[in-house]
Structure 1
Amino acid sequence: MSVVSRPDTPAVSGPTSAAPAASAPWRLPAVVRNFVRNREIGLVMVAVVIGLLSGLLVAIIWRLSEFAHAVLFNIPFDTRLSANGVISWQRTLLVPLGGAVILTIIGVFYAGRFKGRLADAIEANALYGGRVSMRGSLLISLQTLLSNGCGASVGLEAGYTQICAAFSSQIGQRLAARRADMRLLVACGAAGAISAAFTAPLAGAFFAFEVVLGAYTSASLVPVIASAVSSWLVMRNLVHPSFLQIPGVPTPASVEMIGQTMLLGVLCAFFSILVMLAVAFSERVFQSISIWRGALRLVIGALLLSGLALLSPTVLGSGHGAMQLLLITNPTWLMLLTTLILKTLASAISLGAGFRGGLFFASLMLGSLIGQLYSTVLTPYFPDIALQPGTAAVAGMVALGTGVIGAPFSMICLALELTGDFWVTIGAVVAASMSALIVRELFGYSFATWRFHLRGETIRGPQDIGWVKQISAATLMRTDFPTAPGDLPIVEAQKLFPPGRVKHIVLRHVDGSYGGIVNSAELHGVPDPAEAVLETLAQQRDQFLQPQVTVRDILAAFDRTEADVLVVIDNAQDRRAIGTVSEAHVLRTYSTELERRNQEVFFR
């Protein structure tokens, strides 16, 4: 984004219009709204409702996905798709292809109707104050269910989070919630979604803090925990999911165990970066396919996915069943390596081709494969110190999940809740810490924020930066600024602008375009003006702002130009001055608004 522009610089584009429609929804009675706005217990009660609703929504989508797998792939209803090795080649080939055709039709039909309404929970909390489009979220959830149901190597977690966040946002809008409370309610929906998806309330809560809310505060603790626990109770009673089974005796904590989990964290950190780059590369390749305006991207992706599935059915679906199956069957290193490569390719192809879904569970499966592969290769040579396969698998799962999702505490809690074993969790803590450190240092993005970066969004996390984009040069500038033609003699200018009356004078050319700015002190400091004109004193001729530039970019512009005042022009072509912005006013406005937002985060 260009801030200090030259005449040939394109105009700076304003904030994207990805926010949901601004039409005011109907609201709940005033007594209910006031109770929630003014009493913390009211917000907690709403969070419980969101948790119950989230658990129900996740259970419904879960069952629909299992039903689709059972019908389309002709497998038993309670069997995981990725753990089933008796799928016919005809179904392996035709089902993903049929799903790709349906998704292509949906994409073509709804491409224009939902443009700018598909912000997820992270983007909505970062840019739009927690406002999530319900219609756009329903479309995303439907596409995610269809993608997973037809066997694409994507997880349902993205669909869970999207629909739960959308319902939470709708509840917040009907309560006329404050911006900070709206963001908190969206986080409650995300916490409920992840809690139900993995039957892990602690992991769901920390996922909300780290990935969706961007901060942990005492004011947000109780609502988020209430939502996560409520959702977990609903899911446990409706679906009865089981813990991850870790065979054998876990490796006890020791110096050797800590050292090896650190090594696994390093390996998984680099592999997580490789996975994210692979997905980005896959997207670029598929976007280059312009046949029928890209309508064949999903079809080509489905054919490639089917080819991989014919080699190994473990690449189909999110991978829950395959991960558990590989943990308890003691596979060879060759099988583990083959599955690791095929699953990575399948996930990159599925997401790059346009199948909807997430990389959450795929990252867990890939991490567990790396951990098992490490243990399997090392055990024959160092049987006394090598990590037990289950311990190594959990450490790798948590480390790779941390690298991709960017939520180390959430992954650590997930390890504890899935295994119920404290010794395994110690290794997970070390591996997650190493992975988080390396990925932040070398890459700087999680999977979600990396995709925002590829789209051109300056989002590094869910912290609220939407208000920053709302404060622009157009809202900060003063329009009552003194102007003068550049060819005005200095002698006349000294008479028109006496000392102390004005500080800066904006110059204009004959055609009305911006010609620079003159400091009043320099104007009256000219010892012998003679026949000189104002233009000879002009500064910042090619340094100016455009109306759309945000407050942070304005401050950066002041640092670069070392100016006290910058002129705002209408556009880079006409260059007509429409206002001036002073650094002191910008700093005062920014610090006041920042203090207000900090108060909203830590206090209600």
Structure 2
Amino acid sequence: MTNRFTKWNIRNAIFRRLHSEPGISNNLAVLIGIFTGLTIVAYDICLKYAEGVFWNGGVSGQYYVIFIPAIGGLFVGLVTHLYKDLKRCNVAEVIEGTALHGGRIRIREAFREVFLSIISISTGGSVGKEAPGILAGAGIGTIFAKTINAPDNRYRIFLGCGASGGIAAAFNAPLAGVVFVVEVIFGELETRTFIPIVLSSVFATLVANLIFEVHPIEVSYYGFVDPIRESGLYLVLGILCGIASVILIRTLYITHDAFRTIPVHPAFKPAIGGLFVGIIGYFYPQVRGIGYDVITEVLANNFTLQLLLILLVLKILAFSFTIGSGNAGGSIVPSMFVGAMLGGAYGTIVHQLFPATTAVSGAYALVGMAATLAGTARAPLTSMLILFELTKDYNLILPLMFACVVSNSISNSLHEESIFTEVLKRRGFTIRRGKEINVMESMLVRGNMRNDVHTISMNDTAKDLLDLMQSSRHAGFPVLDENKKLRGIVTLEDMREKVKYGELDTNIRDIATLEPVVTYPDESLDVVLKRLAMKDIGRLPVVSRTDETELLGIITRSDVVKSYNKEIVKSVREKEAKK
């Protein structure tokens, strides 16, 4: 009888555990991981088939290879134009969905981007496939959350489960998948989300490996020759990789801005970017596509110093043309490619200088891959783990740690945002590490200020100011000198006494506040509102950080309130639409 009751109690305990909130999350995490793994496998099959169609077994050296990336870009541009109601998305949208929208992303947008990435990569676009994997996984997690009508707190968990499974299956790196979500997507470690993310990552990797043996990059064994001397050399490599990662980020967004100004219909811009990639790829086909095979060759010490340096520069350009023009794909593998070229070149030089006390160039290429990724993604732990899981070599842990931490620090000091969050900052959001951020903290001045500013000259009179107030219906104006430089601000309160006593010929310079309180385009609305309240004023001129006399715009208390209300309404509507 006792045994029967014991078995009954155990069964009840197991049943309650499985049907508790953590139990349900864990069970669904396993399913999300399985479906994500299957999706990554299907993605790889489609990608290989499409590459076979477009390249027909290899056509390098033929002049028409120039046009294959352009054809892919044209297809991407036309599909994007035909479905204008769907926004383009990438890892940045997953981060935004986690930080601002309760873990929700638009499923149709995510899977359209996955489809477009197959076209971009298979036609020679110089991008990676890990971002589509993250989007596919995040989309699957969102589908599961919608299917069970999950509460808000589980949407975020399931999105993280899918994202971790996507990157884990792509690299055969379950630990890196978990840490990527914690480090990049969530920005923090939460105990209630950790176990589901681990389960999803493990099962996605298992499924992908059961069907395909996932070994994206073949890595040789490397080790130290002289640990003390080589540690210093790897630190220098970390500095170089940090600088290279900033160059990569800035080149990408400079190219993006340049394509926005081209007077061509947006549907054709990806084709133009593809044409540039095709021209580069005609002379150096190594920069086309994902580039796993090229990285493997570099790690095997098969490239000359000259070729490594050429590919370093051309990969940055080809990647920037691909993404900057509007094609689809990821930035993780291109970052690793750039790091491999830089590390390989650096390793070649130091090995020639110190042949008896340094490892071969492939070891430096391997560390360069991780360090450059750490700098672009601001994810040093993820970078270390991806390379460690690829190599299974404990001897490289120390140089990986040195180089990744140094690269991350250098990159962060030279450029505030990562390759993912830069696009969000340009939209007026500041995504900070931690829990879901305050709306006011996430919105920047540049996205909410008025650019068409009414101004008044220091040489004008109170009468001119009164006329301007009546015509513009504003109560305050920046004061400019004869060189159009900001010198102060004048408001209705400043001239009230002059109007009262009829002194309308008084010069503006005599009634204006000549040391105005200002704000900057990259400050948050939270800071602006506090500054307005502390000074008891209604408006702030927006000026350049490098030149505080350069007027860029103006922002008022009512602008801040309107922007806040608009964002709250938008957030509520998005949550309702995604239920």
Same fold (TM over 0.5): yes
Q: CA deviation at 1:35?
A: 8.5
Confirm or deny that 1:365 pairs with 2:347.
Answer: no
- Structure 1 residues 322, 576: CA separation in 2 closer, same or farther (over 3 Å shift)? closer
In structure 2, the partner of 1:125 is 98
Q: CA deviation at 1:468?
A: 5.2
Q: CA deviation at 1:577?
A: 11
Aligned partner of 2:421 among 442, 449, 453: 449
Rounded Cα–Cα distance in structure 2 between residues aligned with 1:223 and 1:216:
12
In structure 1, the partner of 2:245 is 272
- Kindly report the root-mean-square deviation, in angstroms, between the aligned alpha carbons of the 2 structures: 4.0
In structure 2, the partner of 1:221 is 194
In structure 2, the partner of 1:13 is none
1:391–1:427: 8 Å Cα contact kept in structure 2?
no
Aligned partner of 1:402 among 351, 360, 374: 374
- Structure 1 residues 441, 128: CA separation in 2 closer, same or farther (over 3 Å shift)? same
Q: CA deviation at 1:563?
A: 5.6
Rounded Cα–Cα distance in structure 2 between residues aligned with 1:383 and 1:283:
42
Letter aligned with residue 262 of structure 2: I
Aligned partner of 2:529 among 545, 557, 561: 557
Confirm or deny that 1:178 pairs with 2:158.
Answer: no
Rounded Cα–Cα distance in structure 1 between residues aligned with 2:30 and 2:116:
28
Confirm or deny that 1:193 pairs with 2:166.
Answer: yes
Confirm or deny that 1:434 pairs with 2:388.
Answer: no
Q: CA deviation at 1:359?
A: 1.1
Rounded Cα–Cα distance in structure 2 between residues aligned with 1:213 and 1:369:
31
Q: CA deviation at 1:214?
A: 1.1
1:73–1:91: 8 Å Cα contact kept in structure 2?
no
- Structure 1 residues 558, 337: CA separation in 2 closer, same or farther (over 3 Å shift)? closer
Rounded Cα–Cα distance in structure 2 between residues aligned with 1:158 and 1:253:
38
Rounded Cα–Cα distance in structure 1 between residues aligned with 2:88 and 2:303:
46
TM-score (norm 1): 0.71
Q: CA deviation at 1:91?
A: 5.0
Q: CA deviation at 1:167?
A: 1.6
Aligned partner of 1:412 among 378, 381, 384: 384
Letter aligned with residue 74 of structure 1: N
Rounded Cα–Cα distance in structure 1 between residues aligned with 2:23 and 2:230:
45
In structure 2, the partner of 1:383 is 355
In structure 2, the partner of 1:458 is 430
Letter aligned with residue 135 of structure 2: Q
In structure 1, the partner of 2:323 is 351
1:69–1:150: 8 Å Cα contact kept in structure 2?
yes
Where structure 1 has 5 or more consecutive residues not aligned to the other structure, the ranges are 1-33, 76-83, 472-508, 517-531, 534-539, 544-550, 568-574, 587-604
- Structure 1 residues 102, 461: CA separation in 2 closer, same or farther (over 3 Å shift)? farther
Rounded Cα–Cα distance in structure 2 between residues aligned with 1:140 and 1:134:
10
- Structure 1 residues 116, 200: CA separation in 2 closer, same or farther (over 3 Å shift)? closer
In structure 1, the partner of 2:274 is 302
> In the TM superposition, what whole-angstrom CA distance separates every residue of 1:238-280 from its partner, at most 9, and x where no partner exists?
1112274333642257211211111111000000000111111
Rounded Cα–Cα distance in structure 2 between residues aligned with 1:74 and 1:90:
15
Rounded Cα–Cα distance in structure 1 between residues aligned with 2:172 and 2:72:
29
Rounded Cα–Cα distance in structure 2 between residues aligned with 1:342 and 1:415:
24
Rounded Cα–Cα distance in structure 2 between residues aligned with 1:217 and 1:228:
16
- Structure 1 residues 577, 394: CA separation in 2 closer, same or farther (over 3 Å shift)? closer
> In the TM superposition, what whole-angstrom CA distance separates every residue of 1:511-566 from its partner, at most 9, and x where no partner exists?
9x9989xxxxxxxxxxxxxxx99xxxxxx9xx9xxxxxxx9735642345426898
Confirm or deny that 1:66 pairs with 2:48.
Answer: yes
Aligned counterparts, 1:139-288, within 5 A: 139-242=112-215, 244-247=217-220, 249-251=222-224, 254-288=227-261
- Structure 1 residues 515, 303: CA separation in 2 closer, same or farther (over 3 Å shift)? closer
Rounded Cα–Cα distance in structure 2 between residues aligned with 1:37 and 1:458:
38
- Structure 1 residues 462, 150: CA separation in 2 closer, same or farther (over 3 Å shift)? farther
Letter aligned with residue 114 of structure 1: L
Rounded Cα–Cα distance in structure 2 between residues aligned with 1:46 and 1:429:
34
Q: CA deviation at 1:303?
A: 1.6
Aligned length: 477
1:167–1:189: 8 Å Cα contact kept in structure 2?
yes
In structure 2, the partner of 1:106 is 79
Rounded Cα–Cα distance in structure 1 between residues aligned with 2:284 and 2:122:
18
Rounded Cα–Cα distance in structure 1 between residues aligned with 2:206 and 2:557:
61
- Structure 1 residues 311, 116: CA separation in 2 closer, same or farther (over 3 Å shift)? closer
Aligned partner of 2:29 among 43, 47, 52: 47
Rounded Cα–Cα distance in structure 1 between residues aligned with 2:408 and 2:536:
41
Q: CA deviation at 1:39?
A: 2.5
TM-score (norm 2): 0.74
Q: CA deviation at 1:384?
A: 2.0
> In the TM superposition, what whole-angstrom CA distance separates every residue of 1:274-294 from its partner, at most 9, and x where no partner exists?
011111111122111112x23
- Structure 1 residues 563, 300: CA separation in 2 closer, same or farther (over 3 Å shift)? closer
Rounded Cα–Cα distance in structure 1 between residues aligned with 2:271 and 2:35:
35
Letter aligned with residue 395 of structure 1: V
Aligned partner of 2:305 among 333, 342, 347: 333
- Structure 1 residues 36, 95: CA separation in 2 closer, same or farther (over 3 Å shift)? farther
Q: CA deviation at 1:38?
A: 4.6
> In the TM superposition, what whole-angstrom CA distance separates every residue of 1:460-507 from its partner, at most 9, and x where no partner exists?
457522655799xxxxxxxxxxxxxxxxxxxxxxxxxxxxxxxxxxxx
1:514–1:577: 8 Å Cα contact kept in structure 2?
no
Rounded Cα–Cα distance in structure 1 between residues aligned with 2:401 and 2:322:
31
Aligned counterparts, 1:576-587, within 5 A: none
In structure 2, the partner of 1:490 is none
Q: CA deviation at 1:149?
A: 1.3
1:117–1:133: 8 Å Cα contact kept in structure 2?
no
Rounded Cα–Cα distance in structure 2 between residues aligned with 1:53 and 1:444:
36
Q: CA deviation at 1:395?
A: 1.0
Equivalent position SS for 1:71: helix
Equivalent position SS for 2:353: coil
Equivalent position SS for 1:212: helix
1:406–1:436: 8 Å Cα contact kept in structure 2?
yes
1:125–1:462: 8 Å Cα contact kept in structure 2?
no
Rounded Cα–Cα distance in structure 1 between residues aligned with 2:470 and 2:428:
38
Letter aligned with residue 408 of structure 1: P
1:250–1:388: 8 Å Cα contact kept in structure 2?
no
Rounded Cα–Cα distance in structure 2 between residues aligned with 1:124 and 1:307:
37
2:430–2:442: 8 Å Cα contact kept in structure 1?
no
Letter aligned with residue 177 of structure 1: A
Rounded Cα–Cα distance in structure 2 between residues aligned with 1:253 and 1:55:
41
In structure 1, the partner of 2:364 is 392
Letter aligned with residue 198 of structure 1: F
- Structure 1 residues 53, 282: CA separation in 2 closer, same or farther (over 3 Å shift)? same
Rounded Cα–Cα distance in structure 1 between residues aligned with 2:470 and 2:55:
75
> In the TM superposition, what whole-angstrom CA distance separates every residue of 1:29-71 from its partner, at most 9, and x where no partner exists?
xxxxx98895212211111111111111111111111111122
Where structure 2 has 5 or more consecutive residues not aligned to the other structure, the ranges are 1-15, 444-468, 477-499, 502-512, 517-522, 540-554, 565-579
Equivalent position SS for 2:346: helix
Rounded Cα–Cα distance in structure 1 between residues aligned with 2:133 and 2:121:
12
Letter aligned with residue 65 of structure 1: L
Rounded Cα–Cα distance in structure 1 between residues aligned with 2:210 and 2:289:
24
1:404–1:447: 8 Å Cα contact kept in structure 2?
yes
> In the TM superposition, what whole-angstrom CA distance separates every residue of 1:204-252 from its partner, at most 9, and x where no partner exists?
0100101111111322221111111010001111111227433364225
Rounded Cα–Cα distance in structure 2 between residues aligned with 1:256 and 1:562:
55
| More divergent stretch after superposition (226-235 vs 558-567) | 558-567
